[in-house]
A = this chain, B = another copy of it.
């Protein structure tokens, strides 16, 4: 499926706005390169999350490590890079859990969620403007903490992990 016409309405650093004509209808859409998120389980059977200020939400959120695809980057390579940068975790066994549109009514952002197990610990290498706190939650505690989650990708990833583990 392709639109009949499309034009760039606003150009940003992370995303653009495009206006597309599909037959009789005009659609305003946010165009984004796509993203990844990682459900990482450490050697002590804890899931490794990040807590950071999210200006969009105007609060701190507890989330899966995540990031945006660089031009031409494969989703798995991106996920491995982002996990290492944000948490220091590297290596391990990787598997895709899901690939989802985050808000398909108006946002062209496809997010791929991976699971990583058996990674080695290392030093995070976060960028200057990312103040990230690592939060490790034992898998057995997760069912009781689902109500704390306020981020959709984190809910999906952790619900899929719990389902896999029969928790």
A binding-site residues for B, Cβ under 8 Å:
1-3, 9-10, 12-15, 17, 20, 22, 24-25, 27-30, 32, 35, 53-59, 61, 63, 66, 68, 98-111, 129, 149-153, 155-156, 159-160, 162-163
For the complex formed, measure the closest distance between the CB of A150 and the CB atoms of chain B, giving whole angstroms: 6
For the complex formed, measure the closest distance between the CB of A71 and the CB atoms of chain B, giving whole angstroms: 17
B35, A105: Cβ atoms under 8 Å?
yes
B14, A28: Cβ atoms under 8 Å?
yes
Distance in angstroms between the alpha carbons of A156 and B101 in the assembled complex: 12
A107, B56: Cβ atoms under 8 Å?
yes
Name the contact of A150 in the complex, choosing from B28, B101, B152 (C-beta under 8 A): B101
The winner among A3, A30, A35 for most chain B CB atoms within 10 A is A30
Question: Which residues of chain B are within 8 angstroms of A153 by Cβ–Cβ distance?
Answer: 103, 152
Which residue in chain B gives the minimum CB-CB distance to A14?
Answer: B106
Query: Beyond A17-B10, A56-B108, A108-B57, is A103–B29 a contact (Cβ under 8 Å)?
Result: no
